[in-house]
Structure 1
């Protein structure tokens, strides 16, 4: 069930979406004056709870592609209908890159040096299919959410957010001892960069689950998107962002999330 919160407070939801309920994590942060509190943290979350939390919060950041490359549609349609023209238009490695990566993926690589996983040619495809269904469920109750993040739903990329906030974000995913140590160090780094964030006693859980940790980072990035502290698609990127989705990258430090514009 959505967490109970004080009337008038601002809340952001972060979702680390997996292909199934297992390993899907959510985090709700409640924002006050100069501080924020982790109000809800859950693992193994089903679609219904995500949709309910979306309706109970002000902005959602979801760590999953919200769309596919535009080029993929005519390619698949051409293949289905034995129409070689649209298929041959993407012959060669450069053509396949257009099928595999969205405009926003290329923007993220240019801005951060990180290469997002491909939604159409990598293991993100299954979570993205689930994400499309969740978007449809949200639309049925709350109206369609623009894929460029101009509504109440923004696509986020926790590793990129962490890097832009000055935190080392490599090698912390997994269940090995090394990964666990790196996650613990990363959590301490986040606490140092955001001393105003009250983790409400969830430190041990966050240090033991990269899924929960990423959900918190997604919620923090949702706040950045809500207060205008993420890179927006310009005229060159906007047409693709509307159809394919847009990964919101922070443009200010973590300290500005509690003091937007200050």
Structure 2
């Protein structure tokens, strides 16, 4: 099988993609690229079996009635979210709160932070995928799953903070993190891309997204239970790996992509 990881940014120049090919307990980084446009993401989606995208695939359910009430000059839907607790419901999704409770990490708000810009692009990409390959469930039960590389890394016992950015300390931490990943996953052939991965947190996150996509495909991530299922279908669901990296090399039957 082949898994795609996308580190999605608002601008194409900061968007990265990684494709991993899996075969008989080994894996190879078959494709790694930066400066990726929408159509290339859609093409790669069609050529792979499971995609992990590092970007929210939806907004908080509370956000729409709040905006609709504001636009219609209707006070009650707006006043339902008065106070700090109400604003938290507007800013964070059910899955964001779940991830924080499980990992201690706080995802950026899709409605109240700069993450809203890539999320708008992600919505357009989802529509383009739907047009060409059919709609993909936002809870990750199809061929597209929302992932959070920092949370995946923490779930696998690897450094989850301090590697993003262009500073000397961040670059050093990213190089150390890549070394830790290679030690934890000796079966992963990076195909000579080590220097590129150590020099770009965008491409590194795309690699982690592709590894997490494999975990989703194998069923070794936390899925929404009954308490979270309804919100996951509309807001999206961040998939957290439940097993170690060494468990990703197992087989999988009955999964195939629409290869061009």
TM-score category of the 2 structures, normalised to the smaller one: over 0.9
TM-score w.r.t. the length of structure 1 is 0.95
Counterparts of 1:102-251 in structure 2 under 5 Å? 102-251=93-242
Q: Paired residues, what number? A: 252
Bigger relative CO (Cα 8 Å, ≥ 6 apart):
2
Tell me if 1:87 matches 2:51: no
**Conservation of the 8 A alpha-carbon contact between 2:24 and 2:251:** no
Note the C-alpha offset of 1:169.
1.5
Note the C-alpha offset of 1:22.
1.0
Match of 1:49 in 2: 40
Distance in 2 (alpha carbons) for counterparts of 1:115 and 1:181? 24
Match of 2:56 in 1: 65
Match of 1:4 in 2: none
Tell me if 1:257 matches 2:257: no
Deviation string 1:173-206 (CA, Å, 9 cap, x unpaired) is: 0001100000000000000000000000000000
TM-score w.r.t. the length of structure 2 is 0.96
Distance in 2 (alpha carbons) for counterparts of 1:20 and 1:176? 21
Note the C-alpha offset of 1:259.
2.5
SS at match of 1:22: helix
Distance in 1 (alpha carbons) for counterparts of 2:72 and 2:85? 23
Deviation string 1:40-90 (CA, Å, 9 cap, x unpaired) is: 000000000000000000000000000000000000000000000000000
* RMSD (Å) for aligned C-alpha atoms: 0.8
Large movers: runs of 4+ above 3 Å: none
